[in-house]
Structure 1
């Protein structure tokens, strides 16, 4: 028992979900790195490749809530295993695409498969992580996705160069299968089901797991109740704003920096990775700040203050980048923007666990659906505004306005109230 107390079993779960977030974004960004060889092999235009990238966002958005419902009903052990096998299969099958339509369908299904990942993590966090530790755990998980995006670019580029893009997709699919096997073998839905956990840790988790108001948390969820919830709509609105900013870094930051400041491919790639690394820092800092404020007995403030600060920094960073005459200056401000945007993630997902409790998967999936609609709009709005105005300025102004709106939204959110109550 004493040995277990030094390395709590819940830490193994955190390692597993961190690696899942890392894998999630490695698989997601792979197609962006492989864009040129895929387009050449399949004779695709830039517009067709744009729709291929957008197909992922639609599949990912549409299946968020259904995936969340499945996680709540059948548990994160089974559902995360199944969805990782599914999306890894479609990752591997991407290497077998033979034309535009086949690639479009495969990437849509790939997005649908990935949809349940973060809702599944949220449900696992509810069962395994005490309320006062949720901030830092959520921050760690999301930092995995940012580090995966930042460091996957050179690693995947090397793999594509040495093994070809088709074999690279197959390799990534195999890695996902390995994760799924390990998760199913070692993870359990609740600490009560894990025989090797110490009684001391089990009692600690259960006593700090937010089991109050059990009637509201155990009854079957109804979409009417969810859609009537002010907390739910506010969570969706602010997350739409958050994703609008961050997904710019995943989609258009590289071509924007390369074109705006006349950089070569290697320079642009290195510059692009910097804001993503700062995004990971933003997750860690926000997670730490959430738990620090919560331990002072300020539940609502522990979510509202870090999120509001993050959105304010994102607005400042986006606007500041417009006035920079050098790539270094622009990256400094864009790093501030992504640091701020990622500060909003731990409070957003902790908020979903707070108000969703045993329905955390459904609530977080619904919020993430709205967020990825924002990501889809970002991918399309940037080139269209650039075409209409001849400048990127309006896009950054729109992003800054959305971040300011999100600050106002957060001051109306109530983390301590279940979605059926507010």
Structure 2
């Protein structure tokens, strides 16, 4: 039964409120704020790709130059994700997410002053550095409001915010670009990021399911293991592989899918935006459908290896097969279905790979490990856009370049999915590490409540 009582609180050094007992309404308010956080995150991230055609024309960019600018978003992305994970063990989620959102706003401003390759790159590098820890820190903040057995739906909603962000951004940013020029989209997103930061500062307090408030002992929040031992478990390595395959498709989608739809399939800007919204909508529906399915499997005693691990691995493999088929199917309907599967099916791997990782990590180290997993799992963002630009420029035609890029992506995704399927075994690895989340994921006074 979900707890729902309010409780007294004590102050943190940064002014946040540490709620000592679960509060259902507060938990869902935090969930709504974090979903919105992810919507803004992905809208900020998508703006360059959605405005790619007018930007490349105005600045006379080659495909390789555009690919470099797109990849620059990831220059510091993985490093900042790693740093942010370790900071989460010392600084509250309230402060970290607030500061990140303010930096998102600031990152949109350089190009408004001077539209050039250096300012575009500077803004993307800053934005990437500020968004590197976004997924891992926001889900870490969310987990502080829900016990382990109730995290599937909130996790799906959190990453669903990413799909929703692209779904909303595609038509809105396209309209802004066409009606007021591409700079207007940057200005609008700067304002939205700043508004979210202010709202979060008022509402974003840390929850009760926090290792700092758990007891001591083997399963408690005080347990700490060598990071090398945690990171070399099959579950963590498999979860990273799953994220790696999903991120390759995601980075291609953000950087090159809008241009591909317009330049290779002959779509108008509005039709391309509608197609991208469909892909994002499919990912969102998939997330919301799979989370209750995963919960149902777990409630029936199905192991996490099959309820969470196999689902995310299969999704990456299915998307990889669809990606490989895209260049060879020319009928409009089937090709759009393959595009939707290739770029949308991986969405469920993102929340599930955090869930499987969380099951083998002591609560006190969860934020840091999430940061490490995110840092490695998002490395494709540094490679895929730049590689695709080079492939297009080096090929006999843009169509041939896209074909090679899609086949390369498919190979990466299939290998990553297969590795994840073989390696993710949360129950086995948790037993080997002697990590038991009964105490760690239970609020004070709630010990013994059913978790796993």
Q: TM-score, normalised by structure 1?
A: 0.85
Q: Provide the rounded CA distance (Å) in 2 between the counterparts of 1:2 and 1:225.
A: 37
Cα distance change of structure 1 residues 258 and 237 upon mapping to structure 2, 3 Å threshold: same
> The residue matched to 1:9 in structure 2 has which SS?
helix
- State the Cα distance separating 1:176 from its structure 2 match: 1.3
CA contact (8 A) 1:283 1:345 kept: no
1:268 match: 272
- State the Cα distance separating 1:347 from its structure 2 match: 1.1
Would you tell me which structure has more helix in proportion to its own residues?
1
Q: Which moved more, 1:63-72 or 1:394-403?
A: 394-403
| Counterparts of residues 204-223 of structure 1 (less than 5 Å) | 214=218, 217-218=221-222, 223=227
CA contact (8 A) 2:53 2:259 kept: no
- State the Cα distance separating 1:342 from its structure 2 match: 1.3
Cα distance change of structure 1 residues 42 and 96 upon mapping to structure 2, 3 Å threshold: farther
Q: Which moved more, 1:380-389 or 1:145-154?
A: 380-389
Long gaps (5+) in structure 1: 192-204
| Counterparts of residues 176-187 of structure 1 (less than 5 Å) | 176-187=193-204
CA contact (8 A) 1:294 1:302 kept: yes
- State the Cα distance separating 1:297 from its structure 2 match: 2.4
Counterpart pick for 2:421 among 405, 410, 416: 410
CA contact (8 A) 1:146 1:277 kept: yes
1:344 match: 349
CA contact (8 A) 1:92 1:172 kept: no
Q: Provide the rounded CA distance (Å) in 1 between the counterparts of 2:347 and 2:217.
A: 31
CA-based RMSD: 3.2
Pairing 1:109–2:126 present: yes
- State the Cα distance separating 1:370 from its structure 2 match: 2.1
Deviations 1:25-44 (A, max 9, x none): 11111122333454566565
CA contact (8 A) 1:91 1:172 kept: yes
Pairing 1:97–2:114 present: yes
Q: Provide the rounded CA distance (Å) in 1 between the counterparts of 2:111 and 2:355.
A: 34
Q: Provide the rounded CA distance (Å) in 2 between the counterparts of 1:14 and 1:347.
A: 17
Counterpart pick for 1:66 among 83, 100, 103: 83
> The residue matched to 2:360 in structure 1 has which SS?
helix
Cα distance change of structure 1 residues 389 and 217 upon mapping to structure 2, 3 Å threshold: farther
CA contact (8 A) 1:84 1:177 kept: yes
Q: Provide the rounded CA distance (Å) in 2 between the counterparts of 1:380 and 1:224.
A: 31
Q: Provide the rounded CA distance (Å) in 2 between the counterparts of 1:213 and 1:246.
A: 40
- State the Cα distance separating 1:214 from its structure 2 match: 4.8
1:359 match: 365
Q: Provide the rounded CA distance (Å) in 1 between the counterparts of 2:380 and 2:224.
A: 29
- State the Cα distance separating 1:270 from its structure 2 match: 2.4
Counterpart pick for 1:372 among 349, 355, 378: 378
| Counterparts of residues 20-419 of structure 1 (less than 5 Å) | 20-39=37-56, 44-191=61-208, 214=218, 217-218=221-222, 223-300=227-304, 301-356=306-361, 357-386=363-392, 387-388=394-395, 391=400, 392-405=402-415, 406-416=417-427, 417=429
- State the Cα distance separating 1:412 from its structure 2 match: 1.7
CA contact (8 A) 1:310 1:341 kept: yes
CA contact (8 A) 1:261 1:326 kept: no
- How many correspondences in the alignment? 408
Cα distance change of structure 1 residues 31 and 401 upon mapping to structure 2, 3 Å threshold: closer
Q: Provide the rounded CA distance (Å) in 1 between the counterparts of 2:5 and 2:223.
A: 38
Q: Provide the rounded CA distance (Å) in 2 between the counterparts of 1:166 and 1:323.
A: 36
Q: TM-score, normalised by structure 2?
A: 0.80
- State the Cα distance separating 1:108 from its structure 2 match: 0.5
CA contact (8 A) 1:232 1:419 kept: no
